[in-house]
Amino acid sequence: MLELTPVLDYKSDNPLYLQLSNYVKQEILSGRIKPTAKLPSKRNLSHYLGLSLNTIQAAYDQLCAEGYVESKPRKGIFVTPFDEDIFSIQKYPTHLEVKKEPSESKVKIDFNSGRVDLEHFPFSVWRKLTMKALYEDQKEIFNNGDPKGERLLREQIAIQLFASRGVRCSPDQIIIGAGTQVLMGLLCLLIGRENTYALENPGFHRIRVVLQDLGVNTLPISLDESGINLKELKESSATIAYVTPSHQFPFGMVMPIKRRMELLKWAEEQCGYIIEDDYDGEYRYKGKPIPSLQGLDPNGRVVYLGTFSKSLIPSIRISYMVLPAALLSKYEERFTIYKQTVSRLHQNTLYHFMKDGHWQRHLNKMRTLYRKKQAALMAAIKKHLGEKAQIIGENAGLHIVLDVKNNMLEKELISSAMKLGVKVYPLSTYDYELGSVDGSQVILGFGGLSEYEIDKGVRLLKNAWKL
């Protein structure tokens, strides 16, 4: 069977179906695909490339419309039988190709941990619900809404949080905001900038930057196999701890129940707060999810942060926090002057998406999809890298840390991979000292890649790293 192996750019403005049709045209024009050759079936190509049937259909329709191929009923799709001499002189790109910057054009496979699978997002449903949100109340939706966010959406979030993460809250406790960093800035004002914040090290660097930009004193706390080092935390002057217990970023360990209870006891003794960032708690590949810290907390010492960036789409910029009673009172007394930062239209669309059951269906589908991608990444690393690489944090989330055992340092690993068109990411970015540690560990995200791209990327890494 004819094999088609395009490298698709998911960040490009050029739709995937056009990228695929352009690739097939170039293969035909260069003579690598011969006249009268039969193209793979839509279903086989969809499975092989990890693309939807609609994308494959649109690409084949484009090729048919331009006369490069023809569809024969009950037989398949075939290349039009032109004279090969006509094709052999066509060595230039088609006019539909999008020009790229030189540095961007080098990247064939991008293991970006911030990317999600957009190919399977229900665009038609989202578009329909957006129009529904508009038509229900076309005038009112364009006025400023509740500073906390749309009440109906907060009700849906409260229901889902209790069912999936054991978070106990009312809609009144939920504040919606345009991303975790925005909410973290507001939360810092609520708690007070005079407090010292303990941060996991390594940990999520964007939170560290927000706190430092606000002039807050921050302290790095090292990690052990259970997450944030409690002994070190107790010996510090911190009264606030920011943690990612469901899937530590970036190392991926899950905080066990014993450590969670100890951390809650620390917060009670300090009269402080734990900020629980559950940034991708929906995706877990081994065992059952451990209840959230917030759901275990009887004393109102946990602020729960959540986001739709990983589970839906990053650009929608809808995140939320759940405030305990004391901070909620302070918010309602002093901070409702801050207007809501998320579009009411997007909030209303998401409300309908959740209420009508589309959210749960989409989440179930993505869990299955990401589980397959994670398995593909594990298999590719075992097959191509073997004992030369150790996987860290593979039980949850959309990324892993890879410890490469070839005596290359981080910068060498990244630069040699880039020479073959593979982009991997430095672990040192998340170190408190801003990359002062230069080890042999890099981050590989897999959410935005197909299974084929994952395998190809790891094969290229084997060559780049001479493993």
Residue 222 lies in a domain: yes
Kindly report the CATH number assigned to the domain that includes residue 84. Answer: 1.10.10.10
205-213 and 180-191 helices, crossing angle to 10°: 40
Q: Domain check: are 147 and 289 in the same one? A: yes
pLDDT digits 0-9 by tens, 200-235: 999 999 999 999 999 999 999 999 999 999 999 999
Cβ–Cβ under 8 Å, residues 227 and 253: yes
**Terminal alpha carbon distance of the chain:** 31
**pLDDT tens, position by position, 391-411:** 998 887 899 999 999 999 999
- Domain count along the chain: 3
Same domain, 410 and 435: yes
Same domain, 208 and 342: yes
Shared domain for 256 and 320, answered yes or no, is yes
Residue 49 is predicted with a pLDDT of 86
Question: Where a domain ends, among 54, 72, 100?
Answer: 100
* CATH code at position 180: 3.40.640.10
Q: According to the model, what pLDDT value does residue 251 have?
A: 92
List the alpha helices (DSSP H) in 137-275.
Answer: 151-165, 180-191, 205-213, 230-235, 257-270
Query: Is residue 8 in a domain?
Result: no
Write out residues in the chain with pLDDT < 70, as ranges: 1, 82-105, 136-138, 287-289, 434-438
Query: Could you give the strand order of the β-sheet that contains 196-201, starting from the edge strand earlier in sequence?
Result: 174-177, 319-322, 302-307, 273-277, 240-243, 196-201, 217-224, 227-228
Q: Are residues 396 and 455 in the same domain?
A: yes
- The secondary structure of residue 43, as a DSSP letter, is H
> Which structural domain range is residue 315 located in?
137-356
Sequence letter at residue 333: E
426 and 443 Cβ atoms separated by less than 8 Å: yes
Which pLDDT score is estimated for 98?
A: 45
Q: Within this chain, do residues 277 and 338 fall inside the same structural domain, yes or no?
A: yes
**197 shares its domain with 324:** yes
CATH number for the domain spanning 441: value is: 3.90.1150.10
Q: Give a yes or no: residue 120 inside a domain.
A: no
Which ranges of 224-357 does DSSP label H, i.e. alpha helix? Answer: 230-235, 257-270, 293-296, 325-334, 344-355
* Position 208 in a domain: yes
Q: Are 331 and 392 contained in the same domain? A: no
Task: Evaluate whether residue 127 is within a structural domain.
Answer: no
Element (H, E) at 341: none
Q: What is the pLDDT of residues 354-402, one digit of tens each?
A: 999 999 999 999 989 999 999 999 999 999 999 999 999 888 789 999 9
pLDDT at 389: 93
Cα 404 from Cα 387, distance rounded (Å): 9
Is 302 found in the same domain as 212? yes
Question: For position 332, what pLDDT does the model report?
Answer: 96
Q: Is residue 108 part of a domain?
A: no
Q: What is the pTM of this model?
A: 0.75
- On whether both 211 and 300 belong to a single domain, the answer is yes
94-103 CB burial, b ≥16 within 10 A, e <16: eeebeeeeee
pLDDT score at 33:
87
Query: Do 345 and 272 have their domain in common?
Result: yes
From 321, 356, 391, the end of a domain falls on 356
Same domain, residue pair 200 and 283: yes
Tell how far CA 71 is from the center of its chain.
Answer: 38
Is 125 contained in some domain?
A: no
Picking from 52, 71, 100, the residue at the C-terminal end of a domain is: 100
Instruction: Please check whether residue 130 lies inside any domain of the structure.
Output: no
